[in-house]
Amino acid sequence: MSSIQVRPFRRNDRDQLTQLVNAHAEAVVPGLSVSVNTVLASLERQPGEFIVDPWVAAHLLRYFADERAGAGARDVGDISWLLYWPEAPAGNPYWPHAAPAARALIAACLAQFEDWGVSQQHAGGELPVHGVYGVPEQWPHIRALYQEAGFAHAGHTEIVYLARIQDLPRPAGPPLSGLSVRRSVGTNGCRLSAVLGQDVIGYIEVETFNEPERLTRSAGWADVGNLRVSEPYRRQGVGSWLLGQAADWLSLAHVDRLLDYAWLEGTDPGGISHEDYRAFLPAVGFRELTRTQRGWTRPGAIS
């Protein structure tokens, strides 16, 4: 077996690297993959990348220590993602197991952090693939590698959901007399608002994935950016009605799959608990794809 080599990325590594990215993505979200151009663009658009062997690869980010970076990322060294094939064919002498190379790679990542002198070290799995971030439960080999290197999950867990548009509710009519829908540009995609008289009592935002070079398979994907219903009108069918309005709109765009997300525990940065939302999503046709742990840090790595 040849010695392990940790080296900078070369452009002729692009096909193997894309296969590695998509293998990890497809274990989390069915049928979702990205093109070679997307993988390369995700590296070229961010400075400070550190790419190695196409069978074992990592992407490092370094954030400024001053006001040029947000407060939450200031002076952070981040393993944006680290991937390797978890198994080798039994008895095949020409296909060595990648685990030793992965250990050498993460050691090189930590050495780079030391060289940068960053005060915080983070890790995750933020691939350039929708719905794949954090460390999903389908990646025990990545979780174990991070833990072995001293990283600990100090953040929260999110559930990623998927629904077929055809399975979403289509109420026969609005749940409240006089309720109508109004379409506008939202913060996270097209906004469909529930309007009662002069009041907006709720809204849903849906964003289609139509980047020309991102999806290697037929499009047909979208996700829910926001779904909100004012407190006095909750549990009256407004949320399901809004989802049905969004489903009709997405069908016109030939979208047939919809992603959504919810925190598993605690409250999000806005102080909102997702307990009711976690109950709502399966009730209206969503299925759970994965639970992914976000917020991996290496405590006390650098003082």
- Runs of H (alpha helix) within the chain: 14-26, 36-44, 99-116, 140-148, 238-252, 275-283
**Average pLDDT of the residues in 121-127:** 96
CATH superfamily of 169-284: Gcn5-related N-acetyltransferase (GNAT) (3.40.630.30)
Q: Which residue has the tokens 């794949």?
A: 132
The pLDDT of residue 34 is 86
Give the up-direction half-sphere exposure of residue 32: CA atoms within 13 A in the CB hemisphere.
24
The pLDDT of residue 31 is 80
What CA–CA distance (Å, rounded) separates 39 from 21? 8
> Which pLDDT band, with edges at 50, 70 and 90, does 47 fall under?
very low
The pLDDT of residue 196 is 96
The larger pLDDT score, comparing residue 161 to residue 27, is at 161
Residue extent(s) of CATH 3.40.630.30 domains in the chain: 11-155, 169-284
Q: Based on the number of CB atoms within 10 Å of its own CB, is 301 exposed (0-12), middle (13-18) or buried (19 or more)?
A: middle
174-229 per-position pLDDT tens digit: 999 999 999 999 999 999 999 999 999 999 999 988 766 555 554 689 999 999 99
Contact 61, 48 (CB under 8 A): yes
Burial pattern 215-225, b for ≥16 Cβ within 10 A else e, equals beeebbbbbbb
Residues 228, 190, 72, 74, Cα dihedral to 10°: -170
- Architecture of the domain defined by 11-155: 3-Layer(aba) Sandwich (3.40)
Q: Which residue has the tokens 């096909």?
A: 15
Looking at the DSSP bridge assignments, the partners of residue 121 are 77
The larger pLDDT score, comparing residue 42 to residue 70, is at 70
Alpha-carbon torsion (224, 234, 289, 294), positive or negative = positive
Least trusted range by pLDDT, from 59-73, 92-106, 142-156, 241-255: 92-106
Q: What is residue 272's three-state secondary structure?
A: coil
What pTM was estimated for this model as a whole?
Answer: 0.82
